[in-house]
């Protein structure tokens, strides 16, 4: 579980996060949604410890990251997996070396054990016979799956994903969403996904945090988001023509 309390973050004069407090549950896919510029990425980077909030505290289980020394932070980061928007695979390493990277860095496993574990997670994300290929030689969807494999290879307690299905075709995007949800349940980890994709919200939104202008405007799950009368949420959800049409059809049926 991750708990954020009253998070404030500014860049110069720009006050980006204005007192966000929320909880991300274990074993659930937690989504942070909101329009561009709402502070989603800054909030995610605060959770990851890449940005230091000026005010507020972030608890992993019951320990605040702000109270941790460098060694404790490093240890906590070993329990984190991150899937970046573009995959962020290391260009100079092949797929096997990319996925093996956290194991090489933080474990004392033998090469054979590491290769076995890499093959295990690669097959978990439905990738086979790509070990010797380089990131530039595989498709965007495959790169995302490799990024997921790298994020889970060291059995993390927390999985963070920054727009994991951006730039993917709808079918692959749904596959990636479902894969993340399955992994979250299977490994019982706390997953936080930053997205503005309404399909993801519909598919895997078990706990949705809606940000608007750096504030928490609404929180609920994917069954509640289409029923809420919170205007900022409905404006966001029905900004898509597809969802407008779905709503019109539902209204007609009703």
Partner 1 sequence: MKYLEDIGSYFLMLSTVFSRPTKGSVIRELIFKEIDELVINSLGIVAFISFFVGGVVAIQTALNIENPLIPDYLVGFATRQSIILEFAPTFISIIMAGKMGSFITSSIGSMRVTEQIDALEVMGINSLNYLVFPKIIALLFYPFVIAIAMFLGIAGGWVAGVYGDYSTSEAFIRGLQSDFITFHVIYAFIKTFVFAFILATVPSWQGYYMKGGALEVGKASTNSFVWTSVLIILTNFIITSLLLG
80 or 95: whose CB is closer to partner 1?
80
73 or 244: whose CB is closer to partner 1?
73
The nearest distance, CB 75 to partner 1, in angstroms, is 7
Question: Could you tell me which of 253, 231, 234 has the C-alpha nearest to residue 244?
Answer: 234
35 or 85: whose CB is closer to partner 1?
85
Residues of this chain that interact with partner 1 (CB under 8 A) are: 48-50, 70, 73-78, 80, 82, 84-86, 88-92, 101-102, 104-106, 160
18 or 45: whose CB is closer to partner 1?
45
86 or 167: whose CB is closer to partner 1?
86
φ/ψ of 221, rounded to 5, equals -115, -175
Pairing of strands 158-162, 29-33: unpaired
The nearest distance, CB 71 to partner 1, in angstroms, is 9
The nearest distance, CB 4 to partner 1, in angstroms, is 17
Contacts for 208 with CB less than 8 Å, ≥ 6 apart: 30, 31, 33, 201, 218, 219, 220, 221, 222, 225
Contact 204, 27 (CB under 8 A): no
The DSSP secondary structure of 208-230, one letter per residue, reads EEEEETTEEEEEE-TTTTTT---
The nearest distance, CB 45 to partner 1, in angstroms, is 8
- Three-state DSSP class for 181? helix
The nearest distance, CB 150 to partner 1, in angstroms, is 8
Rg (alpha carbons) of the chain, rounded to whole number: 19
The nearest distance, CB 153 to partner 1, in angstroms, is 11
Residue 101: count of CB within 10 angstroms of its CB? 18
The residues with which 42 forms a beta bridge, in sequence order, are none
77 or 185: whose CB is closer to partner 1?
77
């Amino acid at each position: 579980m991750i708990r954020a309390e009253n998070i404030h973050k500014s860049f110069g004069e720009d006050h980006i996060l204005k007192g966000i407090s929320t909880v991300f549950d274990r074993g659930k896919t937690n989504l942070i949604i909101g329009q561009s510029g709402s502070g989603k990425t800054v909030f995610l980077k605060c959770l990851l410890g890449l940005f230091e909030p000026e005010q507020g505290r972030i608890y992993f289980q019951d320990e605040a990251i702000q109270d941790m020394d460098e060694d404790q932070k490093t240890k906590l980061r070993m329990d984190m997996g991150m899937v970046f928007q573009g995959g962020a695979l290391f260009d100079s390493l092949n797929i096997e070396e990319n996925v093996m990277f956290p194991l090489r860095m933080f474990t004392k496993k033998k090469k054979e054990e590491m290769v076995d574990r890499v093959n295990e997670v690669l097959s978990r994300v439905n990738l086979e016979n790509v070990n010797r290929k380089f990131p530039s030689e595989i498709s965007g969807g495959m790169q995302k799956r490799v990024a997921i494999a790298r994020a889970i290879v060291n059995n993390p307690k927390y999985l963070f994903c920054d727009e994991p299905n951006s730039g993917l075709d709808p079918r692959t995007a749904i596959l990636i969403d479902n894969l993340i949800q399955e992994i979250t349940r299977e490994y019982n980890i706390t997953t936080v996904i930053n997205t503005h994709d309404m399909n993801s919200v519909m598919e895997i939104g078990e706990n949705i945090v809606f940000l608007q202008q750096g504030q928490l405007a609404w929180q609920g799950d994917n069954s509640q988001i289409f029923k809420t009368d919170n205007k900022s949420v409905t404006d966001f959800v029905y900004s898509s023509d597809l969802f407008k049409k779905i709503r019109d059809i539902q209204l007609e049926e009703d």
